[in-house]
């Protein structure tokens, strides 16, 4: 059989064209499905704070776009600190019941808000919707509950770290707690989809690094080196970008577990922030971390 360079060239071009088309289709599929990849909301609750013996009120707030979002107000001890909590992008507030019980055991009052499309909240999940929920919760605790900004701690977990940092970049507060956060969605996408330029297909950003750099509040960053969902290097970079004073605490356990609450020294690290942000104290943001 005679070798035909022209025919071989045509075959190579056809293979490359097919590979390129498949590559493009895969990238487009990631682009179109990313909302479903990032947000895994649930309407089903495993319980509420009352199931753990905590007093609570159901709260419904209207966002700037008119969407009703649901939250829980969990009062703490009289004159207690206020923790404004933002969860991750999976499940709903019911997934964080153990976290709320832990914060209550430290005496804190907790305001937790679900994002649009999660739990009892209306609307559909989106990055902008998460930020609007955060602003609605902030307005509620400041204008309705009368809590001073200097007495509010923003606590974010997983994707909620990006939401807390976004809010903290816009409003002064007593402090920021970043639990197992990610630097950005494009960074996570680049790690998980190594064979395509995934970061360039991401319209969902959750750019924690950009937001945390604009914050002017003390920051406590914590993450488990054993986390198999979001690598600890994300929180190390967040810590590097965070303002001073700041502190990093290695947690125990995996991303979704509640083992982190048993991390040695964690309660001692959280207590100064909670005591300083008590409604009976005006924080000077100079407490030791």
- Here the CATH number for the domain that contains residue 190 is 3.40.50.1820
Supply 268's token pair. Answer: 């001692």
Q: Is residue 222 one of the residues assigned to a domain?
A: yes
Q: 204 and 159, same structural domain?
A: yes
Strands 109-113 and 68-74: antiparallel
Q: What is the pTM of this model?
A: 0.88
Strands 219-223 and 246-250: parallel
Q: Which has the closest alpha carbon to 91: 34, 45, 158?
A: 45
Q: 108 and 81, same structural domain?
A: yes
Q: Is residue 32 one of the residues assigned to a domain?
A: yes
Q: Is residue 247 one of the residues assigned to a domain?
A: yes
Q: Is residue 154 one of the residues assigned to a domain?
A: yes
- The mean pLDDT of 206-223, rounded to a whole number, is 97
Task: Write the pLDDT tens digit of every residue in 92-117.
Answer: 999 999 999 999 999 999 999 999 99
Q: 253 and 176, same structural domain?
A: yes
d(CA 36, CA 30): 10
Q: Which pLDDT score is estimated for 275? A: 79
Q: 108 and 195, same structural domain?
A: yes
Q: Is residue 282 one of the residues assigned to a domain?
A: no
Q: 229 and 95, same structural domain?
A: yes
pLDDT grade, residue 195 (50/70/90)?
confident
Query: Measured over all CA atoms, what is the biggest interatomic distance in the chain, rounded to whole angstroms?
Result: 92
Beta bridge partners of 91: 41
- Residue 286 CB burial class (10 angstroms; 0-12, 13-18, ≥19): exposed
- Domain of residue 19: give its range: 1-38
Q: Is residue 150 one of the residues assigned to a domain?
A: yes
- The mean pLDDT of 221-235, rounded to a whole number, is 97
Q: Which pLDDT score is estimated for 278? A: 59
Q: 108 and 70, same structural domain?
A: yes
Distance of CA 44 to the CA centre of its chain: 20
- Residue 20 CB burial class (10 angstroms; 0-12, 13-18, ≥19): exposed
Q: 223 and 152, same structural domain?
A: yes
pLDDT grade, residue 190 (50/70/90)?
very high
Q: 123 and 74, same structural domain?
A: yes
Q: What angle do CA 78, 82, 86 make, to 5 degrees?
A: 145
Q: Which pLDDT score is estimated for 8? A: 56
Q: 106 and 78, same structural domain?
A: yes
Q: Which pLDDT score is estimated for 284? A: 43
SS (H, E, C) the chain: CCCCHHHHHHHHHHHHHHHHHHHHHHHHHHHHHHHHHHCEECCCCCCCHHHHCCCCEEEEEECCCCCEEEEEEECCCCCCEEEEEECCCEECHHHHHHHHHHHHHCCCEEEEECCCCCCCCCCCCCHHHHHHHHHHHHHHHHHHCCCCHHHEEEEEECHHHHHHHHHHCCCCCCEEEEECCCCCHHHHHHHHCCCCCHHHHCCCCCCHHHHHHCCCCCEEEEECCCCCCCCHHHHHHHHHHCCCCEEEEECCCCCCCCHHHHCCCHHHHHHHHHHHCECCCCCCCCCCC
- The mean pLDDT of 258-279, rounded to a whole number, is 86
Q: Which residue bears the tokens 């004073």? A: 245
| Under 8 Å between Cβ of 89 and 40 | yes
Task: Inform me whether the pLDDT recorded for 13 exceeds 70.
Answer: no
Q: Which pLDDT score is estimated for 19? A: 46
Task: Give me the number of domains the chain comprises.
Answer: 2
Distance of CA 22 to the CA centre of its chain: 33
Q: Is residue 105 one of the residues assigned to a domain?
A: yes
- The mean pLDDT of 166-188, rounded to a whole number, is 97
pLDDT grade, residue 285 (50/70/90)?
very low
Task: Inform me whether the pLDDT recorded for 175 exceeds 80.
Answer: yes
Q: 143 and 171, same structural domain?
A: yes
Q: Is residue 286 one of the residues assigned to a domain?
A: no
Q: 206 and 87, same structural domain?
A: yes
Which is it for the CA torsion 199, 202, 203, 206, positive or negative? negative
Q: 122 and 209, same structural domain?
A: yes
CA distances for 254 relative to 57, 226, 258, angstroms: 30, 6, 8
């Amino acid at each position: 059989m005679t070798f035909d360079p022209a025919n071989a060239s045509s075959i190579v071009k056809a293979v490359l064209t097919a590979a390129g088309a498949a590559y493009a289709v895969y990238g487009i599929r990631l682009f179109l499905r990313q909302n479903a990849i990032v947000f895994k909301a649930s309407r089903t609750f495993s319980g509420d704070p009352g199931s753990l013996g905590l007093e609570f009120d159901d709260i419904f707030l209207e966002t700037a776009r008119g969407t009703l979002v649901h939250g829980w107000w969990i009062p703490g001890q009289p004159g207690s600190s206020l923790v404004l909590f933002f969860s991750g992008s999976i499940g709903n507030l019911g997934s964080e019941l153990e976290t709320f019980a832990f914060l209550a055991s430290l005496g804190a009052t907790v305001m937790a808000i679900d994002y649009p499309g999660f739990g009892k909240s209306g609307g559909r999940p989106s990055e902008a919707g998460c930020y609007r929920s955060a602003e609605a919760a902030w307005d509620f605790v400041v204008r309705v509950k009368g809590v001073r900004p200097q007495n509010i701690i923003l606590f974010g977990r997983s994707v909620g770290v990006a939401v807390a940092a976004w809010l903290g970049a816009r409003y002064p507060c007593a402090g920021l707690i970043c639990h197992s956060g990610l630097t950005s969605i494009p960074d996570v996408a680049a790690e998980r989809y190594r064979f395509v330029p995934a970061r360039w297909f991401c319209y969902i950003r959750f750019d924690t690094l950009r937001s945390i750099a604009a914050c002017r509040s003390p920051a406590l960053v914590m993450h488990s080196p054993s986390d198999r969902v979001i690598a600890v290097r994300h929180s190390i970079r967040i810590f590097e970008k965070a303002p001073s004073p700041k502190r990093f605490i290695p947690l125990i356990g995996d991303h979704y577990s509640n083992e982190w609450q048993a991390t040695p020294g964690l309660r001692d690290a959280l207590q100064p922030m909670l005591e300083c942000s008590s409604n009976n104290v005006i924080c000077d943001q100079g407490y030791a971390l």
